[in-house]
């Protein structure tokens, strides 16, 4: 746990710690998962105790003096057809016209906060405050791959068919995840995403 | 090579799952019952992480195209090999052309079939396991079909004696009514009465349960917490969504999520829950992390015993 309030600084600190842990290649660490407030480490508890692994993890984080140096962020332009099933609902709920919803969604750049949920799913922020809506009361059992969706202060693209509770406003065709590609995920934390309206 | 002659309703290639990919959103995945898949691998002389078949929902048949040592375990099945009965967790020698016929799964949910040499499918993101939602891994990222042939790896140098059997005392007690849990990351956000509800009620596995999670039916647990900022989950974590009915995350669970996690199923007992069918029940009992780690160490030493007995048989 790094903090209790979401912030860009906290997220930066957490991603830097991930890089430090990856660079340290600590034995028996099986996975490192960054999120908004916490960094979770999975380890082989049959081979190493909680006390030992904690000491090794903390030491690795301490050894890195500059947390800031990550890979150079990239900018991705993703063409979107804005005709999602929830577009009218979003317009009605926000009191905006459909065109205004589209203009506000495609009118700004988003930062990739983190990848998670399903392969290649990027949590993107920060959405125009006028578009903030809570998630759907009942998640859809199936959201089709390529759906562009919004919820609260975030927007995202569904890389594969999955259940989902966000409001779907559009569809895109960019391949977000390919396990045979290197790197497999199109997006990386810190990257910038711009959505471009297409008919 | 193995040919699927009559495919069961569900059949995939699995192994111990993926590492170091969760930060891309790729779940650990792998076998639902990690103990059973490793046990059948050990019995046929494979590495514990070799790929095997995960079989569920009904009977079917496969044909071995070369001589091999095979073992089944996990769910209980009525099965024959070349007409002879196949006991569970036992090394059986199949001759090229022999057919393994599973009549039906009599109890439990996931049956594992290991062959010496393991299933040889391409390694993707460090593993041979199948991730069905992403349509990748295993055999073309999908469930197997009748007529498919899967390759087998090179046979290990040492082979266990035919009839080598791993005793039931070395396997998890699958009929146990109790599944042990430790406190989850948001345990403190739930009060005494929530904990009493969780640990003193019978929870039934819902029909809405699959490789990503088991929805549990029983008394609801209050969730006034709503959604929290997303954080990592893991197989075994018990999250409480808005309707108060717990969801136990399983092998293909999302890597991160926002529902509060009241408890985590002890890794040693996760196979017991994994093998429960919809409609069957379990009861949770709270233990400490130290007790949970001791239980896991016992499972680890039981697995080592199985491997050593197999290699000496």
Q: Please report the ipTM that was assigned to this predicted complex.
A: 0.92
pTM of the full structure: 0.95
B229 and A35 within 8 Å at the Cβ level: the answer is: yes
**Residue B32 tokens, joined:** 């639902």
Do A61 and A97 sit in the same domain of this protein?
Answer: no
Do A81 and A56 sit in the same domain of this protein?
Answer: no
A120 and B231 within 8 Å at the Cβ level: the answer is: no
**Does residue A14 lie within any of the structural domains?**
yes
Do A81 and A165 sit in the same domain of this protein?
Answer: yes
Instruction: Out of A17, A43, A66, pick the residue that ends a domain.
Output: A66
The answer to whether the beta carbons of residues B178 and B283 sit under 8 Å apart is yes
Cis bond upstream, residue A192 (ω within 30): no
- Which distant-in-sequence residues (6+ apart) come within 8 Å of A83 by Cβ? A170, A171
B289 to chain A: nearest residue by CA? Answer: A50
Do A55 and A107 sit in the same domain of this protein?
Answer: no
Do A143 and A50 sit in the same domain of this protein?
Answer: no
- Minimum distance, in Å, between the CA of residue A2 and any CA atom of chain B: 12
User: 3-state DSSP call for residue B249?
Assistant: strand
What band does B68 get if pLDDT is binned at 50, 70 and 90? Answer: very high
Average pLDDT over residues A18-22: 91
- CATH code for the domain in which residue A109 is found: 2.40.100.10
User: How far, CA to CA in Å, does B235 sit from each of A96, A162, B81?
Assistant: 42, 18, 34
Do A184 and A124 sit in the same domain of this protein?
Answer: yes
Instruction: Out of A66, A95, A111, pick the residue that ends a domain.
Output: A66
What band does A1 get if pLDDT is binned at 50, 70 and 90? Answer: low
Average pLDDT over residues B226-246: 90
Do A16 and A96 sit in the same domain of this protein?
Answer: no
Residue B14's pLDDT is what?
98
Nearest to A36 among B125, B135, B229 (CB): B229
**Residue B165 tokens, joined:** 């059997």
What band does A69 get if pLDDT is binned at 50, 70 and 90? Answer: low
- On the question of pLDDT at B140 being above 80, the answer is yes
- On the question of pLDDT at B155 being above 80, the answer is yes
B22 and A31 within 8 Å at the Cβ level: the answer is: yes
Residue A65's pLDDT is what?
54
User: 3-state DSSP call for residue B297?
Assistant: helix
Residues 216-255 of B with CB under 8 A from A: 227, 229-232, 234, 254-255
Nearest to B254 among A118, A177, A183 (CB): A118
**Does residue A166 lie within any of the structural domains?**
yes
Q: What is the rounded CA–CA span in Å between residue B50 and residue B153?
A: 9
Residue B133's pLDDT is what?
96
What band does B310 get if pLDDT is binned at 50, 70 and 90? Answer: very high
**Does residue A179 lie within any of the structural domains?**
yes
Q: What share of chain B is helix, strand, coil (3-state, %, to 5)?
A: 20, 35, 45
**Does residue A1 lie within any of the structural domains?**
no
**Residue B44 tokens, joined:** 């046929």
Average pLDDT over residues A29-48: 93
**Does residue A165 lie within any of the structural domains?**
yes
Do A94 and A136 sit in the same domain of this protein?
Answer: yes
Do A40 and A90 sit in the same domain of this protein?
Answer: no
Residues 131-170 of B with CB under 8 A from A: 131, 133-137
Do A167 and A193 sit in the same domain of this protein?
Answer: yes
Q: What is the rounded CA–CA span in Å between residue B127 and residue A31?
A: 14
Interface of chain A against chain B, CB under 8 Å?
A: 6, 18, 30-38, 40, 42, 45-46, 50, 114-121, 123, 135, 159-162, 177, 179-180, 183-185
State the DSSP code for A73.
Answer: P
Do A47 and A115 sit in the same domain of this protein?
Answer: no
The answer to whether the beta carbons of residues B247 and B215 sit under 8 Å apart is yes
- CATH code for the domain in which residue A19 is found: 3.30.1360.40
Do A61 and A79 sit in the same domain of this protein?
Answer: no
Is B173 in CB contact (< 8 Å) with chain A? no
Give the domain range for residue A163.
75-198
Q: Percent of chain A having pLDDT more than 70? A: 96
Domain count, chain A: 2
Q: What is the largest CA-CA distance in chain A?
A: 59
């Amino acid at each position: 746990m790094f903090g209790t309030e979401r912030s860009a600084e906290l997220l930066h600190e957490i991603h830097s710690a991930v890089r430090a842990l990856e660079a340290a290649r600590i034995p028996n660490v099986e996975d490192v998962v960054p999120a908004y407030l916490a960094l979770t480490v999975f380890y082989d508890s049959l081979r190493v105790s909680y006390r030992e692994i904690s000491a090794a993890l903390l030491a690795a984080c301490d050894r890195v003096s500059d947390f800031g140096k990550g890979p150079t962020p990239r900018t991705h332009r993703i063409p979107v057809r804005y005709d999602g099933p929830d577009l009218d609902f979003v317009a009605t709920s926000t009191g905006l016209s459909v065109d205004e919803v589209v203009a506000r969604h495609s009118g700004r750049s988003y930062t990739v906060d983190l990848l998670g949920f399903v392969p290649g799913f990027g949590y993107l922020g920060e959405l125009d405050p006028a578009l903030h809506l809570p998630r759907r009361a009942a998640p859809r059992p199936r959201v089709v791959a390529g759906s562009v969706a919004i919820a609260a202060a975030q927007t995202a693209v569904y890389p594969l068919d999955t259940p989902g509770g966000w409001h779907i406003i559009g569809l895109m065709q960019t391949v977000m995840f390919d396990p045979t590609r290197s790197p497999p995920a199109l997006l990386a934390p810190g990257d910038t995403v711009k959505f471009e309206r297409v008919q | 090579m193995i040919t699927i002659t009559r495919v069961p309703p569900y059949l995939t290639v699995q192994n111990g799952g993926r590492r170091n990919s969760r930060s891309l959103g790729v779940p650990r995945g792998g076998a639902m019952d990690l103990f059973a898949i490793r046990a059948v691998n050990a019995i046929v002389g494979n590495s514990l992480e070799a790929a095997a078949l995960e079989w569920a929902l009904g009977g079917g048949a496969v044909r071995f195209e070369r001589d091999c040592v095979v073992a089944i375990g996990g769910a209980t099945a009525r099965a024959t090999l070349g007409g002879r009965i196949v006991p569970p967790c036992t090394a059986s020698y199949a001759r090229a052309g022999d057919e393994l016929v599973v009549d039906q799964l009599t109890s439990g949910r996931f049956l594992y079939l290991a062959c010496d040499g393991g299933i040889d499918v391409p390694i993707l993101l460090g593993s041979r396991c199948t991730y069905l939602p992403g349509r990748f891994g295993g055999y073309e990222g999908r469930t197997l079909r009748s007529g498919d042939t899967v390759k087998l790896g090179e046979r290990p140098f040492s082979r266990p004696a035919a009839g080598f059997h791993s005793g039931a005392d070395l396997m998890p007690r699958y009929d146990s009514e109790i599944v042990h849990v430790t406190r989850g990351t948001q345990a403190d956000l739930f009060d005494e009465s929530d904990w009493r509800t969780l640990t003193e009620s019978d929870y039934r596995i819902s029909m809405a349960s699959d490789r990503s999670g088991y929805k549990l039916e029983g008394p609801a647990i209050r969730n006034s917490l709503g959604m929290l900022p997303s954080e990592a989950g893991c197989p075994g974590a018990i999250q409480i969504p808005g309707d108060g009915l717990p969801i136990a995350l399983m092998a293909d669970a999302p890597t991160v999520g926002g529902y509060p996690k009241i408890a985590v199923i002890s890794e040693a007992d996760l196979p017991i829950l994994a093998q429960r069918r919809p409609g069957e029940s379990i009861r949770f009992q709270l233990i400490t992390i130290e007790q949970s780690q001791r239980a896991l160490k016992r499972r680890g030493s039981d697995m080592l015993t199985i491997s050593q007995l197999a290699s000496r048989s």
